[in-house]
Structure 1
Amino acid sequence: MDEIIRKLQPYFEKIPSVERPKAHVPFKEKFAWTLAILLLYFALSNVPVFGLSPESIDIFERYRAFFAGATGSIIALGIGPIVTASIILQLLVGAGIIKLDLTNPDDRAAYQDFQRFLVIVMIALEALPQILGGFLKPNLDVASMLGVSPGALSFIIFLQLFIGGLLIVYMDEVVSKWGIGSGVSLFILAGISQSIITGLFNWIVPAGSTMPAGIIPRWIWIAQNIPPEQLLTASGIGFLLIEGGILALITTIAIILLVVFAEGTRVEIPLAHSLVRGARGRFPIKLIYASVLPMIFVRALQANIQVMGMVLYQKGITIFGEYVGSQPISGIMYLLSPVRSPHDWVPALVKQSPYFADMPDWLIILHLFVDATILIAGGILFAIFWVQTSGMDAKTVARQLARSGMQVPGFRKSPQVLERVLSRYIPKVTIIGGAAIGVLTLVANMLGTIGNVSGTGLLLAVSIAYRFYEDLAKEQVTEMHPMIRKIIGEE
């Protein structure tokens, strides 16, 4: 397949892309580009899809925290196509079907061009099933007013989603090449931060509830409507913890602290510059070496499996499970669905839902066990794939350090020597970090989070915010000391 990719590369290269800057972009300009794209993202998230029926179902509703985008907007697909294309490529590379040497500039260029093409294909493949499957329905009144058929209006809806998907792709490229960090990370952080703030201060009372959705308004409602003596009972304390959102608040704060601690835990390999006497540094290998991106891939894989199940159920095929809206309620699709709060794994709370009233306890516990296995095993596997395909493996890092003139003090100056030193740490830390991030995600999901952003979403937001802070610090340092840009290979 790699030969096919190489032969088709001239055609892939014709796909428009954002041009890389030909010279160093000043920090203020990078920050301005990043802020402009962020504002554009928020603006687009408030542009509704024209002609969409209010009866439409958001099949990515349960994964919205890390898919970014906004329900019913033209960017409803969010980063889903980008993530799905990355998953497919990582699986193809990991299985040896694509045998491109990603340390070779030509092969890496072919890989990136093919990835851009695959993302565009995935935009269409994620939009079409939602329309053809009857999840995104055309508004018949709008079709009547325009004098067009529902099918024609459905095509207009598809075009809007496709354009929105392309805008996300190019906005991501602008941030990656002209801004700070990556657009995908920026969109995830923006969406999750918005959900957390809404989860704290939202005064709106959801349908079927008597309490406001936000934690702080909920506390005020509880103080005004429930006697203190009732809250001090065992059931009252349980009510405060679960329904009052105290457990979600504690979990959110604890996970933030744990992620910051994990991001700061690292092995530092001493380095010296071979040409500049006295110039020393350290190469940090973080505990979460592959960051939290493996969790995006794990949840995105689950999301796509769930979408397939929903499409099959919509067509009358119920062998894999039944659905109510976007919620699986039986079969293997129920077992493969993510745990998001205590209401998904504590038998007494699960059975409060009329759809799960008769569900046996062992099946509820099995659901938790399956999700735990998916998170931990998937975290390890995707961490390994990500490190190999993103140039973070020992061989690639050793070449980059050697090219910049760095070496380990006391060792011979050679990429092979650097690779042997790095190989002592990177593979082990990759596996441990992938498992650790899976466990953190599982715990956060089991206990619940503010705004129902899910453990995955919260981990992503904290890790992205931490790394964005590091990127800002790095940009400021390189701006003050241009020589550092040459040492780290940016010029």
Structure 2
Amino acid sequence: MSWKDTAEPVLTRMPAVRRPEGHVPFRRKLGWTAGVLVLYFFLTNVSLFGLGTSTDAFGRFRSILAGSQGSLMHVGIGPIVTASIVLQLLGGADLLGLDTQNNPRDQVLYQGLQKLLVVIMTALTALPMVYAGFLRPAPAVAQSLGVSPSTLQFLIFVQVFIGGILILFMDEIVSKWGVGSGIGLFIIAGVSQRMVGGLLGFNELLGRGNDGIIATWVRVIFGERELSGSLLTPAGIQDVLLGPGGQFQVGLLAVFTTFAIFGIVVYAESVRVEIPLSNTRVKGARGRYPVKLIYASVLPMILVRAVQMNIQFIGRILNDQWAGMPAWLGVYGEQGQAQEGLFYFLSPIQSPTDWMWFAGFGGGNEVWEILLRVGVDLTVMIVGGAVFAIFWVKTTDMGPEATAKQIHGSGMQIPGFRQNTRSIERVLEQYIPQVTVIGGALVGFLAVMANMLGTIGGVTGTGLLLTVSITYKLYEEIAEEQLMEMHPMMRKMFG
């Protein structure tokens, strides 16, 4: 008996959102998408009951996790991403033995296995957060309820776990009934919220931290805030570029980097090789299959960052729980960030203050240590971006073989070639593998560069790349949905 037979009764009974039986009208899709988005924003503002003090275990990775510190959405999409990494690695090594392209039973098992892993990862993520001291119960609340702090601690764990399950089903609702994917929608929402706050926020008036770009420079212009020197001095120029007092989110460099990344990603999304197609059923009907430069999209970057995030998460747990942790493994500061040791070199560059030693930043580390950390981050992101892009293409049926079957099954063919799957696959093999590697490496490089130069709102380069790319794809999908609504014959032609 194989593992499939053993696990099938459990995997096929995992709770799931029912698929629509027919075509979902475009307006209804927009309604479901907007409804889930409103629910997401509501849940990010529901604080965990009984929570006292808390420390953000994810730190600067928060912007790409689509979660909110201390709320029901505390874990965000982290468990979903971690489960995807595990499945991609197992699938890439062909250890699962599942044929998700041709076998309907294996497709159901794969989806059930993915959901089961997300549930397990949600529990494994919530447990150390609550019981390792990152989310501490409030003694006053426990006393008022007449329960022990450990009971309140368990209640906080249950809330975090339920929040992780809710975001799983919200993602499934958007994927089946809405436009795009829930993960992409939540990332756009979280990053956009931080960017708007970083641009327009008057936070100091409300006692919520530093002001945004407009508020900061309005204060400078009216003399309420002074620069380190005049604009003609090195100190003044540094303040203009990196922000007064080293607040890189409000500097001119952050503004330039943000708009440059927008332009580069939109341009890269439009760069493509278009393979001509003709329809064997409808005479004169022609089309093109685009192989984009960023063929695997920017989503594999989430997987790379998730690996780094989990490594740093383990480091923080070890630092909090292991009093005698050796210095070569990691030395942590008051902010909970690694300052020396292995975990320091494995931590990604998140802002200009992490590496610009010549501007007085760098955390007091030696130049060679900073350069080594930058080199490790670049290597991990470029190589990891290419590797995970390959895994992504294989597991999402975007490879040459799966794509050739889809094209052939829709009644299309490449003019001048035989009408079979193998002919189409040979043509696609000339483009897809190479473009996948180049696109994945390019996105990894852009993510590191954006982090090193800074972005509006400090959303990190990966968060900015994801937002631009997902928004662009969402625009394309909305345009396609509208086209299908206007021309039902096209919907029948392309299935």
Could you say whether these structures have the same fold, taking a TM-score greater than 0.5 normalized by the shorter chain as the test? yes
1:181 corresponds to: 180
1:62 corresponds to 2:72: no
**For the residues of structure 2 that align with 1:370 and 1:35, how far apart are their CA atoms?**
40
SS in 1 for 2:287: strand
The separation in 1 between residues aligned to 2:350 and 2:203, in whole angstroms, is 22
Q: Distance in 1 between matches of 2:118 and 2:8?
A: 15
Partner in structure 2 of residue 347 of structure 1 = 357
Instruction: Tell me which of 264, 274, 284 is aligned to 2:290.
Output: 284
Cα 1:249/1:326, change in 2 over 3 Å: same
The 1-side partners of 2:216 and 2:189 are apart by: 24
Structure 1 residue identity aligned to 2:234: A
Q: Deviation per CA, 1:431-489: give whole Å up to 9, x if none.
A: 01001101111111110000000000000000011011001001000111112222222
- 8 Å CA contact 1:5–1:114 kept in 2: the answer is no
Equivalent position of 2:317 in the other structure: 311
**Aligned pair in 2 of structure 1 residues 400, 199: CA closer, same or farther (>3 Å)?**
same
Q: Give the TM-score normalised by the residue count of structure 2.
A: 0.94
Name 1:100's counterpart in structure 2. 98
- Secondary structure of the residue aligned to 1:272 is strand
The answer for the alignment partner of 1:16 in structure 2 is 15
Name the structure 1 match of 2:216: 218
Is the Cα contact below 8 Å between 2:130 and 2:157 reproduced in 1? yes
1:414-441 superposed Cα distances (whole Å, 9 cap, x missing partner): 0111111111111011001001101111
* Aligned partner of residue 99 in structure 1, secondary structure: coil
- Partners of 1:6 and 1:279 in 2: how far apart? 45
Q: Residues 407, 229 of structure 1: CA spacing in aligned structure 2 closer, same or farther, 3 A cutoff? A: same
Unaligned runs of 5+ in 2: 244-249
Contact 2:90 2:96 in 1 (8 A): yes
SS in 2 for 1:413: coil
Distance (whole Å) between structure 1 residues aligned to residue 258 and residue 276 of structure 2: 35
1:232 offset after TM fit, Å? 2.4
1:249 to 248, 255, 273: 255
Aligned pair 1:456/2:462, yes or no? yes
1:321 aligned residue = 330
Helix, strand or coil: the match of 1:50? coil
Q: Are the equivalent residues in 2 in contact too, given 1:58–1:326 (CA < 8 A)?
A: no
In structure 2, what residue type is equivalent to 1:294?
A: P
Contact 2:228 2:236 in 1 (8 A): no
Q: Is the 8 A contact 2:257 2:454 kept in 1?
A: yes
**Once the two structures are superposed, what CA deviation does each residue of 1:283-340 show, in whole Å capped at 9, x if it has no partner?**
0111000100111000011111111111111112523213334422221111111111
Other-structure match for 1:398: 404
Q: What whole-Å deviation, never above 9, does each CA across 1:110-135 have from its counterpart, x for those lacking one?
A: 11110011001111000001112111
CA RMSD of aligned residues (A): 1.9
8 Å contact kept, 1:404–1:486: no
Cα distance change, pair 387–483 in 1 and its aligned pair in 2 (3 A)? same
Q: Is 97-106 or 468-477 further displaced after alignment?
A: 97-106
Superposed, 1:28-427 pairs within 5 Å as 28-53=27-52, 55-104=53-102, 105-205=104-204, 212-223=210-221, 224=223, 225-226=225-226, 230-243=230-243, 244-316=250-322, 317-319=324-326, 320-324=329-333, 325-349=335-359, 352=361, 356-357=363-364, 359-427=365-433
Q: After superposing the two structures, state which structure 1 stretch, 213-222 or 84-93, moved more.
A: 213-222
Residues 487 and 120 from structure 1, CA distance in 2 versus in 1: closer, same or farther, beyond 3 angstroms? same
Deviations 1:346-380 (A, max 9, x none): 1245x647xx32x2110011111100001100000
Does the 8 Å CA contact 1:94/1:385 hold for their aligned counterparts?
Answer: yes
In structure 1, runs of 5+ residues without a counterpart are: none
Distance 1:398 1:476, change over 3 A: same
Q: Which moved more, 1:315-324 or 1:427-436?
A: 315-324
Deviates more, 1:327-336 or 1:375-384: 327-336
In the alignment, the residues of structure 2 paired with residue 6 and residue 299 of structure 1 have an alpha-carbon distance, to the nearest angstrom, of 35
SS at match of 1:486: helix
Letter in 1 for 2:133: G
| Cα pair 2:171 2:182 within 8 Å, conserved | yes
Q: Return the letter of the residue paired with 2:342.
A: I
SS at match of 1:230: coil
The counterpart of 1:467, out of the listed 473, 477, 480, is 473
1:206 CA displacement: 10
Question: Alignment partner of 1:137: what SS?
Answer: strand
Task: Indicate the SS of the match to 2:290.
Answer: strand
The one-letter amino acid of 1:343's match is T
Q: Residue type matched to 2:197 in 1?
A: T
Q: How many angstroms apart in 2 are the aligned matches of 1:291 and 1:379?
A: 10
> For 1:177 and 1:232, how far apart are their aligned partners in 2?
57
Task: Tell me the distance in 1 between the aligned counterparts of 2:474 and 2:376.
Answer: 33
List, as ranges, runs of 4+ consecutive aligned residues in structure 1 with deviation greater than 4 Å: 206-209
> Percentage identity across aligned positions?
51
User: In the aligned structure 2, how far is the partner of 1:178 from the partner of 1:398?
Assistant: 27
- Cα pair 2:228 2:235 within 8 Å, conserved: no
Which stretch of structure 1 is more off in the superposition, 232-241 or 371-380?
232-241
> Contact 2:242–2:253 at 8 Å: present in 1 too?
yes
Count of residues in correspondence between the two structures: 482
Aligned mates of 1:17, 1:161 — CA distance in 2? 20
Q: Using the alignment, how far apart are the partners of 2:228 and 2:254 within structure 1? A: 21
1:155 Cα deviation from its structure 2 partner: 0.6
Q: Distance in 1 between matches of 2:159 and 2:34?
A: 24
The CA deviation string for residues 20-45 of structure 1, in whole angstroms up to 9 with x for no partner, is 00000000000000000000000000
Matched to 2:65, the amino acid is: F
Which piece of structure 1 moves more, 174-183 or 413-422? 413-422
Are the equivalent residues in 2 in contact too, given 1:273–1:407 (CA < 8 A)?
Answer: yes
Kindly indicate whether the alpha-carbon contact (under 8 Å) linking 2:227 and 2:236 is maintained by their aligned counterparts in 1: no
Q: Distance in 1 between matches of 2:422 and 2:285?
A: 22
1:410 shift after superposition? 1.2
CA distance in 2, matches of 1:287, 1:5: 38
TM-superposed deviation, 1:229: 7.4
Letter in 1 for 2:325: T
